[in-house]
Structure 1
Amino acid sequence: MSHVSTRIVLVRHAQSVWPKHGEPDDDERPLTARGLADAELLVPRLVAYRPTAVLSSPQRRAVQTVTPAALALGLEVIAWPELREWESGLLPSADWEELYRRSWEHPESAHGEGESLDGLTRRAGRALARVATVHPDETVLVGSHGTFASRALIAAGHRADWDFCRTMPMPAIYEVTSSPAGAA
C-alpha cells in the first residue's frame, strides 16, 4: 500500500478588526482595509502552491483572507466548522494576553464552557486528518486563525508555544503534511 500524504498550507488570517471587550467574539468580524490589501498580496504566494482545494474556518476574517487566492485559482472556498478559532470561553478583555499565557501553561484546563487548548489540539489534529482523507495526495489551502494554526502545528508534530502564537504575523503561512490516520 502506498503512503498517502496531503500538503496542507495553513493560512492565518490577515489583520482583522479587534473584538469588542466584554462581548463574545463575533464570527462576522471582518478584515481591516490593511488586512484586505494583505490578502490580495498573498495571492501569488498561495497560487504558487498549486492547491486543488481551498478550505476555511467559517469565521469571516479567515474566509476573506483566502478568497482572493481561491478566485485567482477558480476554486470555491469551502467552510469547515472544525477549522474555526479556539473556543476559549474567555470574553475579549484588556488582560487577554495574560489569560491566554496561563492557558498555554495549563493546556488541559478550560474556562467555563470553553475548549481547553489540549481539546483544540485534538480538534486540529482530527481536522488535518479529515483534510487528508477528503483530499489525498493533494495540496490544500486552509484559512484559519493564530491559536488554531499553533495547535495544528503541535498536532502535526511541530513545536509551538505561547510566544510563537503571540508573535505570529497577520497573515502567516505554515506548511504541514498529514495522512488520514496521521492525527489524534
Structure 2
Amino acid sequence: MATNVYFVRHAHSTYTPDERKRPLSDRGYIDAKKVTELLADHPIEVIISSPYKRAFQTVEGLANRLGKEIKIVEEFKERTLSGEPVENFEAAIEKVWKEERFAFPGGESNLEAQAKGVRAFKQVLDEYAGKNIVIGTHGNIMVLIMKFFNPGFDVTFWKKLDMPDIYCLTFDNGKLAGHKRIWQRD
C-alpha cells in the first residue's frame, strides 16, 4: 500500500531573529487558508510539523478543519545555515549546496542537515506506512530530504519553490514511486 507524504513549505512569515517564534505575515495567513482548502479534500490521516511557529501555523487550519492533532517533529525544522547571520544569503546557500560537506561556523553542512531530516522522515514512513501524511516544514530541509530519494531535487529546484508550496511524494516500500506539485499560486 502506498504512503503519500504532502510536504508543505511554510507560508510567508514576518521576519524576526527568533527562528522558533517567527509568525506568518498577513499574506502568509491568507496563503495558509489556501493550503487548508487545497488539502481538505485529500484523505489526510496524520499531520506533522516543524516546531517553528510559521510551519505550524501553515498547517494549523487544516488540522482544525480535519479534527487532527499536529505532531511536532524537531528534525523537520529548518537547517541551521550559520551560527551568525551571513553577509549574502544567496551566496551562502549556493556554497553549501555546491560543497555538501561544507558548514559555516555554527551551521550544518547539507550532508549533516540531510542525514538528520532523512532519519526522522524514515521513522515517519515506517510509523505511518500506507497513510496520507502532511508535514509542515521549510524549504531547505524539505528539498534536502527529497534529494536523498531523487538527486534531481537540488538547489535550482529549491530556488523555484513558492512560499508556501506543496509537493505530494508517493512511497512504495520506502522507495519514492512518484511526486506531484499540488500548490498553484493564483
* Alignment correspondent of 1:13: 10
* Alignment correspondent of 2:124: 131
Call closer, same or farther: CA 1:179–1:19 in 2, change over 3 Å.
Answer: farther
Match of 2:146 among 153, 157, 182: 153
Distance between the aligned counterparts of 1:162 and 1:144, measured in 2? 17
Call closer, same or farther: CA 1:97–1:70 in 2, change over 3 Å.
Answer: same
1:88 matched to 2:81? The reply is: yes
3-state SS, counterpart of residue 164 of structure 1: helix
Q: Is the 8 A contact 1:86 1:120 kept in 2?
A: yes
Distance between the aligned counterparts of 2:101 and 2:170, measured in 1? 25
* Alignment correspondent of 1:29: 22
Please give the TM-score of this superposition, normalised by the length of structure 2. Answer: 0.86
Distance between the aligned counterparts of 2:168 and 2:117, measured in 1? 14
3-state SS, counterpart of residue 159 of structure 1: coil
Distance between the aligned counterparts of 1:120 and 1:6, measured in 2? 23
Structure 1 gaps, min length 5: none
* CA-CA distance at 1:8 after TM superposition: 0.8
5 Å matches for 1:35-184? Answer: 35-178=28-171
Please give the TM-score of this superposition, normalised by the length of structure 1. Answer: 0.87
3-state SS, counterpart of residue 123 of structure 2: helix
Q: Is the 8 A contact 1:5 1:132 kept in 2?
A: no
Provide the alpha-carbon RMSD of the alignment. 1.9
3-state SS, counterpart of residue 166 of structure 2: strand
Q: Is the 8 A contact 1:54 1:140 kept in 2?
A: yes
Structure 2 gaps, min length 5: 177-186
CA deviations 1:56-92 (Å, max 9, x no partner) are: 0000000000000111110011110011111222533
- Bigger share in strand: 2
Distance between the aligned counterparts of 2:53 and 2:147, measured in 1? 25
- What is the identity percentage for the equivalent residue pairs of Structure 1 and Structure 2? 28
